[in-house]
């Protein structure tokens, strides 16, 4: 292992996801570091892995039984070289500093790839929204913002949603920010339509991922028509991935949540997708109910004894992991390959572990890392910021056209960069180097700060 990675590990104990994310980027950029002496002179590598600022705070709120609850809140302001810190908030019991640091680190390069002026950040809490009443979620969001508000602002740091944070939570967070600051500004993205939100922002991550995958298929003269697709997750990203796949003539056959997955051999059609959206967004139920509602589907519960996820062991052409980090391990990747997978495009952040990534690359399938393929969400957040600053709204056609163009540019840039560095069609190398160069050049230009 390199001295750099060894020192990183020693300095960031107990943060395996952060080490994993940095390792993947570092291995891609070695040729750039070797060639560019300015990067070494300005010690960009050691600087870029250190958060500019990391805030952690107590969040105290009262549950419906009158009991006082305590959670831990975080905001990681990772890099502001090319714009205000930008990135989501995650509310999930697994949230810790290492997970948020990996997400904030990925966000730096993803945001750079969009071509919009956004730095990298991430935040959240170990709060678990599952099973909480609306009133409890509101009180938690208000307590969270009562501290966070002093660290953010439309030109400083602009949070958005991620796992466990959707339109409802953004509404409560925004309301509290506005009350505390007495100021209506675009300080959060993912706001509701009619109070500053952008059309297509809810759809953007899933749609963007499918656009990216469509661009990859184009390079081999293919389309989505008739392709069977595996999708994991059943939240925001998964839902709109399925929607766009249907519009393009593909057949999505799976969806999942943390209790298991459904496999629908006839395919998830528009009506069945409506069922999933109502189940997850309104009734907040479990995906198992899908198999009760539709005879063509089976539900497979999570089996902790297995060292692979059977969702990835079905015959399919394309896969869209859209739940969480490290949901595809080496065995899953091999199962996908054995079942003839042609394309894997990541909706989630870092859903494939390092072994899985290497298996995809060595089998020469079309493989898109999340920082390129899921950038449509944050890109459309950037478009929401632009609309808020202009104090006007664009139509859904206009926003979707811009999103599509941004995804096309990211694809073209990652592909061209992979070629330039002698790894043609390796989108990992292409995206990592293209994102890194933009941020590193800005850091060099701005001096040692």
Residue 163 interacting entry, from ligand 2IT, ligand NDP, none, C-beta within 5 to 8 Å by type: ligand NDP
User: Which residue's structure tokens are 């995206």?
Assistant: 431
Judged by CB under 6 A, how many residues of this single chain contact ligand 2IT? Answer: 11
Judged by CB under 6 A, how many residues of this single chain contact ligand NDP? Answer: 23
| Whether 429 contacts 371, CB under 8 Å | no
Q: CA 363 to CA 336: how far, in whole Å?
A: 11
Q: What is the CA radius of gyration of the chain?
A: 21
User: Per-residue x/- mask for ligand 2IT, residues 381 to 420, rule CB under 6 A?
Assistant: x---------------------------------------
- Report the residue from 15, 162, 169, 353 that binds ligand 2IT according to the rule CB under 6 A: 162
Which residue's CB atom is positioned nearest to ligand 2IT? 88
Q: Among 139-147, 168-176, 231-239, 328-336, which window interacts with ligand NDP (CB under 6 A)? A: 231-239
Considering only residues 324-343, where is the footprint of ligand NDP by CB under 6 A? 324
Shortest Cβ distance from residue 160 to ligand 2IT (Å)?
Answer: 3
Q: CA 105 to CA 176: how far, in whole Å?
A: 28
Burial 363-374 (b: 16+ CB within 10 A, else e): eebbbbbbbbbb
User: Which residue's structure tokens are 């967004």?
Assistant: 281
Q: CA 444 to CA 30: how far, in whole Å?
A: 18
Residue 348 interacting entry, from ligand NDP, ligand 2IT, none, C-beta within 5 to 8 Å by type: ligand NDP
Name the residues annotated as catalytic: 122
Considering only residues 91-120, where is the footprint of ligand NDP by CB under 6 A? 94
- Residue 410 has what DSSP assignment? H
| Whether 160 contacts 170, CB under 8 Å | yes
- Report the residue from 73, 84, 88, 196 that binds ligand 2IT according to the rule CB under 6 A: 88
Q: CA 248 to CA 222: how far, in whole Å?
A: 12
Q: CA 437 to CA 39: how far, in whole Å?
A: 10
Comparing CA positions, the residue from 209, 224, 427, 256 lying closest to residue 342 is 224
User: Per-residue x/- mask for ligand NDP, residues 197 to 226, rule CB under 6 A?
Assistant: --------x---------------------
Q: Among 54-62, 167-175, 232-240, 396-404, which window interacts with ligand NDP (CB under 6 A)? A: 232-240
Comparing CA positions, the residue from 324, 162, 349 lying closest to residue 258 is 324
DSSP, residue by residue, 245-287: HHHTT-EE-EEEETTEEEEETT---HHHHHHHHIIIIIS---T
Token representation of residue 60? 């105290």
377 binds ligand 2IT (CB under 6 A): yes
- The widest CA-to-CA distance across the chain, in whole angstroms, is 63
- Report the residue from 378, 403, 433, 443 that binds ligand 2IT according to the rule CB under 6 A: 378
Shortest Cβ distance from residue 377 to ligand 2IT (Å)?
Answer: 4
Which residue's CB atom is positioned nearest to ligand NDP? 235
| Beta-bridge mates of residue 405 | none
Shortest Cβ distance from residue 259 to ligand NDP (Å)?
Answer: 6
- Four-CA torsion 428, 433, 439, 440, nearest 10 degrees: 140
Considering only residues 51-90, where is the footprint of ligand NDP by CB under 6 A? none
Name the site residues for ligand 2IT (rule: CB under 6 A).
86-88, 110, 160, 162, 189, 349, 377-378, 381
Name the site residues for ligand NDP (rule: CB under 6 A).
94, 161-164, 166, 205, 233-238, 257-258, 322-324, 347-349, 374, 377
């Amino acid at each position: 292992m390199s001295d750099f990675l060894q020192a990183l590990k020693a300095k960031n104990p107990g943060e395996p996801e952060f080490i994993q994310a940095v390792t993947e980027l570092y291995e891609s950029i070695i040729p750039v570091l070797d060639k560019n002496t300015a990067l070494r002179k300005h010690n960009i590598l050691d600087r870029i892995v250190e958060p500019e600022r990391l805030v952690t705070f107590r969040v105290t709120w009262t549950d419906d039984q009158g009991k006082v609850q305590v959670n831990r809140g975080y905001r990681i302001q990772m890099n502001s070289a090319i714009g205000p810190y930008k990135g989501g908030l995650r509310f999930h019991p697994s949230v810790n500093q290492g997970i948020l640091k990996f997400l904030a680190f990925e966000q730096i390069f993803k945001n750079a790839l969009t071509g919009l002026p956004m730095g990298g950040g991430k935040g959240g809490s170990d709060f678990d929204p599952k099973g909480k009443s609306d009133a409890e979620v509101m009180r938690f969001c208000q307590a969270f913002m009562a501290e966070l508000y002093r660290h953010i602002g439309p030109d400083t740091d602009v949070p958005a949603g991620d796992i466990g944070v959707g339109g409802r939570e953004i509404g409560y967070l925004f309301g509290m920010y506005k009350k505390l600051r007495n100021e209506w500004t675009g300080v959060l993205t993912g706001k509701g339509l009619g109070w500053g939100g952008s059309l297509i922002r809810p759809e953007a991550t899933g749609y963007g991922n499918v656009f990216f995958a469509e661009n990859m298929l184009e390079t081999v003269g293919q389309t989505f028509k008739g392709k069977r697709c595996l999708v994991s997750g059943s939240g925001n990203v998964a839902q709109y991935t399925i929607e766009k796949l249907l519009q393009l003539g593909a057949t999505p056959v799976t969806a999942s949540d943390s209790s298991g997955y459904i496999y629908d051999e006839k395919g998830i059609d528009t009506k069945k997708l409506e069922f999933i959206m109502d189940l997850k967004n309104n009734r907040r139920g479990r995906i198992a109910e899908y198999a009760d509602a539709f005879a063509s589907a089976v539900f497979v519960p999570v089996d902790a004894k297995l060292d692979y996820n059977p969702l990835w062991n079905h015959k399919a052409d394309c896969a869209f992991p859209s739940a969480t980090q490290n949901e595809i391990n080496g065995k899953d990747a091999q199962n996908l390959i054995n079942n003839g997978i042609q394309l894997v495009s990541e909706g989630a952040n870092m859903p494939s572990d390092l072994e899985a990534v290497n298996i995809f690359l060595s089998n020469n399938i079309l493989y898109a890392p999340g920082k390129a393929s899921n950038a449509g969400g944050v890109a459309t957040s950037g478009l929401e910021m632009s609309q808020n600053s202009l104090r006007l709204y664009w139509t859904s056609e206009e926003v979707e056209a811009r999103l599509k163009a941004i995804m096309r540019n990211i694809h073209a840039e990652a592909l061209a960069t992979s070629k330039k560095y002698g790894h043609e069609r390796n989108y990992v190398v292409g995206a990592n180097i293209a994102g890194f160069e933009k941020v590193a050049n800005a850091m060099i230009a701005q001096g040692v700060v």
